[in-house]
Amino acid sequence: MSVAAGPDNLGCVNYRSDAVIVGGGIAGICAALELLEGGASVLLLDRDEEDNFGGLAKESFGGIFVVGSPEQQRAGFRDTPDAAFADWCSFGELPQSEHWPRAWASAYVHRSLGDIHRWLRDRGIGFFPIPHWVERGEKTIGNTAPRFHLVWGTGRVLATVLAGRLREHRGAARLTSKFGHRVDALLVRNGAAAGCRGTIEASGAEFEADAASVVVAAGGINGSGSLVRKHWHPDWASPPETILNGSHRYADGTLHEAVRAAGGRITHLDKMWNYAAGVHHYRPRKPDHGLSLVPPRSALWVNWRGERVRPPLVSGFDTRALVAAVCRQERQYSWQVLNRKIALKELAVSGAEFNPSIREKRFLAFLRDTLIGNRWLVDELTANCKDFVVAATLAELVAKMNRLQGDEAVRLDVLERDLRDFDDKVARRAASEDEQVARIVELRKYRSDKVRTCNLQPILDPKAGPLIAIREFIISRKSLGGMQTDLGSRVLDESGKPIPGLYAAGEAAGFGGGGMHGLRALEGTFLGGCILTGRVAGRAIRGESNP
């Protein structure tokens, strides 16, 4: 059957296909690839414009969590699914009672090598030779091995290659993609999903899409400031006044409500993966558009008064704890104070946009940025981003911080005291006296962190200036909760039974099971989770017994 379309006499556009996929992000693309493989006709609907096909994955950094890869082995790590599962459940504090989240976590660690890493490689997607070691854990154990495998070319390549595979598929004639189509509700007949309906944004015309199977792959809720606030986790005090948007502009929960109305169970929406170091995008493409910095480890992390946050904050161990620490402050934003030398080596922005050398696979440029510092990035951010201030002296820096803040809250004497104290411990390499110094020493034992972390660089060192202060806000990113699904990506109802014909994948499904991570997520499991759940949804619909 091919996709059929046409207006009825009430002006409503009608589509008919075997399966309809709501959302053209990476999860929707992977589901579509599997469905075409199985011979189905597919209608893919997306609210966004065609240029953004690929969704957040296209903007992403492209790091994917993989267990037991050749890259890990080359780096000297023999990783196993059992070890990864133990780390995952510890980091996410994922209890035995969480049946479907744990089932998906287990599926992920066992299948990441074959169904994600090898599957992508077979489709021409390569990986950076050394995996990154992120989320090592702080109070709870995190990654005990490096598992973040960066796609060579970032998420841009990941999304565009897979989108290209769809276009070139031998069954491509069975795929119809419609952009600017906002899905508002699901069609349910006799207790089974039967399609969806919505609005064509350009004309305001209504449409209905009939299909025996519906895959909801419309992303999470973290693009909606009001939903982020509504579901704010109590561990993070109250939601901050400013929360930047690092998610999709259409990640607004419309499909969560539609699935709920169809009887589906939505769980764990209070679990989110937000970041502590967001700055305003200076070329915003959506309201409150933020950039998520990879926070420099050698910077001093201080509060709105210029006092060092204690215990000291260092990125790479527990992102959730960083958010909690900032939200505990009276004013829920923070500053990182550093110098140009540190910025050149350590400052980075997550995502494809600000990593041109990796995105465009320019190895020599990447090597240059790593070895002698990323001048382009530092100059770009300090010149354009309003949250960066630069000064030759500390007094001048504090004056600029206060001007930006709009009051005299940052105290020069307090900041100077804390900087001198930290610099003294850095200079003496006093790991036993300062947790941040200890962590820098620990990080530098791993090759890929060593090249991206200064070797104990004092901040007030006159040879390393000028000084830089970055004002950082909480930035919303990923929904860890969502539609509860079984291991066939089938959406479950409140009694735990699958709703016939209804599937969910990617961030919409909490990356599997309605929240496969628990409280915390090991980085790279988002893209990986979208690929796996999307593929499983497509394979389940085409009747695979073990999708």
Ligand X SMILES: Cc1cc2nc3c(=O)[nH]c(=O)nc-3n(C[C@H](O)[C@H](O)[C@H](O)COP(=O)(O)OP(=O)(O)OC[C@H]3O[C@@H](n4cnc5c(N)ncnc54)[C@H](O)[C@@H]3O)c2cc1C
Q: Using the rule CB under 6 A, which residue among 132, 231, 248, 542 binds ligand X?
A: 248
**Under rule CB under 6 A, residue 23 binds ligand X:** yes
Closest approach, Cβ 28 to ligand X, in A, equals: 6
**Under rule CB under 6 A, residue 132 binds ligand X:** no
**Under rule CB under 6 A, residue 507 binds ligand X:** yes
Cβ nearer to ligand X, comparing 51 with 168? 51
> Do residues 322 and 313 lie in contact, with contact meaning Cβ atoms separated by under 8 Å?
yes
- Segment 466-485, which members bind ligand X (CB under 6 A)? 478
Q: Is 68 exposed, middle or buried (0-12, 13-18, 19+ CB in 10 A)?
A: buried
Measured distance CA(253)–CA(251) in Å, rounded: 6
**Under rule CB under 6 A, residue 279 binds ligand X:** no
Measured distance CA(394)–CA(459) in Å, rounded: 10
Cβ nearer to ligand X, comparing 250 with 304? 250
CB neighbours of residue 242 within 10 Å: 17
Closest approach, Cβ 57 to ligand X, in A, equals: 4
Relative to beta strand 19-22, strand 213-216 is parallel
Closest approach, Cβ 150 to ligand X, in A, equals: 7
Q: Using the rule CB under 6 A, which residue among 40, 530, 532, 536 binds ligand X?
A: 530
Q: Using the rule CB under 6 A, which residue among 16, 36, 40, 62 binds ligand X?
A: 62
Pinpoint the alpha helices (H) of 54-150: 55-59, 70-74, 81-92, 99-111, 119-122
CA geometry: angle at 519 spanning 514 and 522, to 5°? Answer: 90
**Under rule CB under 6 A, residue 319 binds ligand X:** no
The tokens describing 174, both together, are 């069975």
Cβ nearer to ligand X, comparing 41 with 52? 52
Closest approach, Cβ 458 to ligand X, in A, equals: 31
Measured distance CA(300)–CA(415) in Å, rounded: 10
> Do residues 292 and 272 lie in contact, with contact meaning Cβ atoms separated by under 8 Å?
no
| Residue 530 parent element (H or E) | helix 525-541
Cβ nearer to ligand X, comparing 272 with 456? 272
**Under rule CB under 6 A, residue 109 binds ligand X:** no
Closest approach, Cβ 510 to ligand X, in A, equals: 10
> Do residues 60 and 154 lie in contact, with contact meaning Cβ atoms separated by under 8 Å?
yes
**Under rule CB under 6 A, residue 434 binds ligand X:** no
Measured distance CA(185)–CA(250) in Å, rounded: 15
Cβ nearer to ligand X, comparing 61 with 236? 61
**Under rule CB under 6 A, residue 146 binds ligand X:** no
Q: Using the rule CB under 6 A, which residue among 35, 66, 120, 251 binds ligand X?
A: 251
Q: Which of 147, 132, 159, 138 is nearest to 57 (CA)?
A: 159
**Under rule CB under 6 A, residue 510 binds ligand X:** no
Q: Using the rule CB under 6 A, which residue among 3, 19, 26, 43 binds ligand X?
A: 26
- Integer angstrom CA distances of residue 490 from 48, 164, 327, 446: 25, 27, 36, 41
Q: Using the rule CB under 6 A, which residue among 84, 187, 194, 255 binds ligand X?
A: 255
The residue written with tokens 């903007």 in the block is 59
- Segment 173-202, which members bind ligand X (CB under 6 A)? 182-183
Measured distance CA(214)–CA(18) in Å, rounded: 9
Q: Using the rule CB under 6 A, which residue among 17, 254, 457, 485 binds ligand X?
A: 254
Number of residues that bind ligand X (CB under 6 A): 41
**Under rule CB under 6 A, residue 275 binds ligand X:** no
Residues that bind ligand X (CB under 6 A): 22-28, 45-48, 55-57, 59-63, 155, 182-183, 217-219, 246, 248, 250-251, 254-255, 350-351, 478, 506-508, 524, 526-527, 530
